[in-house]
Amino acid sequence: MKNILVLPVLVFGISINLFRGADSRYRTRQQVGNQVFDFVLTLETDLLMVIDDYCATCPGEDMCYNKEDSKSSKSITQNSENCLSTEQIQFTNECAFKYESQVNYTNQGALMMDSILFGSVSLKDFTFGRVLQESDYQGTVGLMGIGPVNLDKVYGTSLLDTVVNVQHT
């Protein structure tokens, strides 16, 4: 097995560990609810997305986000002020989202709120995308956007912007 180099990095004064996966993409291990995931870092967006257990590309049981496993998870409904989409998930009233990357893959799913632990910063009721369908499996259960593109109008809030705001209050 190849050794993985772990690099402690300061992001806005918060220490997080980065490591490179077998696919050479940088990742960080962070907590959503009471579940821990490895997120691939991407510059294409500033949003957070996690593959749900119900997604066909989930690599295995207990490896993807399960809202029932988190005591702090909250679904965002179509009539919620946090839902900016006009679409809803079939057979539910959950607020839908659709993210199309610049390299031609698409993530679709429902918006959720849950607690996030980013380094040492705890965020309650953070909005993120719970991926139920993706066009091309990216080899990860989560994407953490660290890019300059502000897509808050698509859904949710920027993780890094939220962390910065928490640090300065």
Q: For 25-84, write each residue's pLDDT tens digit.
A: 888 888 999 999 988 888 777 888 899 988 877 776 668 999 999 999 999 888 888 787
Question: How confident is the model at residue 1, as a pLDDT?
Answer: 34
* Element holding 160 (H helix, E strand): helix 159-167
The CA-based dihedral angle spanning residues 38, 44, 47, 52, taken in that order and rounded to the nearest 10 degrees: -50
Of 18-27, 70-79, 157-166, give the lowest mean pLDDT range. Answer: 157-166
Q: Is the pLDDT of residue 138 over 60?
A: yes
Answer whether 112's CB lies under 8 Å from 130's CB. yes
Supply the pTM of this predicted model.
0.81
Give the other-Cβ count within 10 Å of 3's Cβ: 5
42: how many CB neighbours lie within 10 A of its CB? 21
Domains and their CATH numbers in the chain: 6-167 (2.40.70.10)
The CA distance from 59 to 42, in Å, is 20
* Highest-confidence segment of 42-46, 90-94, 113-117, 148-152: 113-117
| Confidence class for position 2, pLDDT limits 50, 70, 90 | very low
